[in-house]
Structure formats: structure tokens, C-alpha cells
Amino acid sequence: MNLAELQDVAYKGGMPKFVGKQLAEWIYAKGAESFDEMVNISKKNKQWLADNYIIGRELPVKSSKSTDGTVKYLFSAGNGRHIESVYIPDHDRATLCVSSQVGCKMNCYFCATGKLGFKANLTAADIMNQILSIPPRPTKGMAPMNPLTNVVFMGMGEPLDNFGAVERAIEILTAPWGLAWSPKRITVSTVGKLPQLKELLDRTQVHVAISVHTADIAQRESMMPAQKAFPISSVMKCLAGYDFSHQRRLSLEYIMWRGVNDDIAHADMLVKLIGDIECRVNLIRFHAIPGVDLYPASEERMLMFRNYLNQKGITATIRASRGEDIAAACGMLAAKS
């Protein structure tokens, strides 16, 4: 719930309006898991709240830790369904990769989540639970020691295919009554689903990452069915109308496959696609999944590709691969418990 809805809860229970703000503080800022923890709300009002509402927090069902420190969490999504989140520590940064759907409609050829098909949209509560319920747990009566510095919507699902819930989660993360984060701590990844991409750009200030993977249109259409509905040329035209030269960042995601999209001709197509749009290109190692006859590009090819883009004035980096040994790396999430 947002602040207005929490205030409405207080009103329904015959409580002053300010109790709604207290509820927001306890649930979001302090991470309360029960109404009993809310010491500045009367016993009678806490009982009424407990009789009519639940906090809605659920701990992960299971976790797996990688040799590189990455942790994958399995969460229940109701009706026997599950989703995964990935915690990625990196020096002074700690990023949580969250899911927005059970499965995915986009059916990208190279993605394990896409192989599941679409099962369900997550609610804003399901999304926030991933963020609020990962360890370490707080000491009773103290504010939670949430270790996160960043959240990326790059887990299971296409975030803009569940835009309402994702937007609400962003509101809770950034609102003064919520977690009060800067929107620059949040990145939303998408295949380029229009018109929701424009809504995200207009209504939030979060960073945006576009899954490009190849600038060869026929090739992209064969591997990413979303290309037919949302052509990458239309996506780039939309992005060209926004300023990414200051604090807000645009990233283009590019998985590299051996002998498929890892040569200079493909690099040149990507340069032409970008034009003069301010962005960063993240080159990503492919992580093999069952039933997909694609192979990772060589280190030499990735370096060549990166250097070519840099020479053309485009900032390109090779993303460090994390959590592959626990099937937590890019494209591997399938919630197989």
C-alpha cells in the first residue's frame, strides 16, 4: 500500500490520519514484520489492524551461495509458484536483482525464464517482499540492516509487461514515506516494450537498460519475438527524446554469442543503431542453458568488440559474470527448486 491507502486504513479503523504515516514508517523504514512491533500505536488499534490486515512479509524458501559471494534466493509467489532474486555484493555496492513476473511472455530464445512461458504477474507486495525480506535480519525492536545499495529489475519477467506493480514498487522505494531512495539507485531493464517504456521515462527518474543483444534486425526478430511488436528502431527513436547526459543513465545490454553477433560488422550495426544517443553498452558473457545451441563469444572477440565501440566514442564495458555456478547469472533464472 502507498501512504494514501495506509491513511485510509487508519481512517477505517477509527484512528487519526497520522497513524497511516506511522504504519508506512514501521512497514518500510523499520521493516516491521508484525503489528506487535509498532510500539507507538495503541494495543486496541494494533489488534484491529491484525484482525483485518497482514503485513505480508515472507522469508525466502531457500537460498544458494556462489563461490563469488553471490546469493540466489527462492521466494514463494503463491499457488505453488516460485520466483528468484539474486544478491550481488561488490566492494561497497550491494545489488539485488529482483523478479517482476513468474515466467515471461517475451520468449527470448537464449533465456531460461522465457522457456517457462508466462505464469503470473507479481504484485507490488511480491516485489517489495524480495527487497525487504533478504538477510541479514534485524535485531528485534531495531531498524532492519538492509544491505542494499541498488535494485535492478533484471530478474524473471519483463518489468514493463507488469508496469503497474513495478511502478508502485518504485514509488515505495523512492517516496519520503517509503524507503526514500534516490531513483538513481534503481535500474529497470526491458526488451523495449512500448508505450510503457515512455511511461516509465516520463513518470520516474530511474535508470533504464534496454536488451538489444543484436542490431541485425532479422537476427533480433528470430531470437527475440518482441522485435516484431516493438522494433528496436522505434525503441531508439523513443529514447532519443530524453536526456541521458546528466544523472540519469541509459544502458544497452548486449549478450555476445560466438559466431553470431561478435564480429566488427555487428559492432558497426550497433554503432549506427545508437547514433548520437548518450548511453553505455554492457557486453555480457552468454551463460549456457539447456536446449539452446548458442555458445559464449571468446574473450578475444569481446575485447575487440569493446575496443571498437570505444574507438567510435561509445562507452562499452564487459560485465563481470556473477553466480554462474548456482544458475544465478544473466538469463539463467528459472526458479527450479
Cα–Cα distance between 113 and 43 in angstroms, integer? Answer: 45
Has 108 been annotated as catalytic? no
Given a contact cutoff of 8 angstroms between Cβ atoms, the answer to whether 290 and 318 are in contact is no
Given a contact cutoff of 8 angstroms between Cβ atoms, the answer to whether 58 and 75 are in contact is yes
Cα–Cα distance between 243 and 178 in angstroms, integer? Answer: 27
| Residue count (the chain) | 337
Closest CA to 278 of 231, 229, 240, 238: 240
Q: Which of 97, 111, 279, 330 is catalytic?
A: 330
- The DSSP element (H or E) to which 199 belongs, if any, is helix 196-203
Burial code (b: 16+ CB inside 10 Å, e: under 16) for 177-211 equals bbbebeeebbbbbbbbbbebbeebbeebebbbbbb
The three grid cell numbers given for residue 23, joined into one nine-digit string: 504504519
Cα–Cα distance between 44 and 202 in angstroms, integer? Answer: 43
Q: Which of 33, 84, 158, 253 is catalytic?
A: 84
HSE-up (13 A, CA, CB side) for residue 71: 16
Phi/psi-derived region of residue 312, left when phi > 0, alpha when psi is between -120 and 50, beta in every other case: alpha
Closest CA to 270 of 210, 332, 194: 210
Closest CA to 85 of 76, 74, 93: 74
- The DSSP element (H or E) to which 202 belongs, if any, is helix 196-203
Active site residues: 84, 330
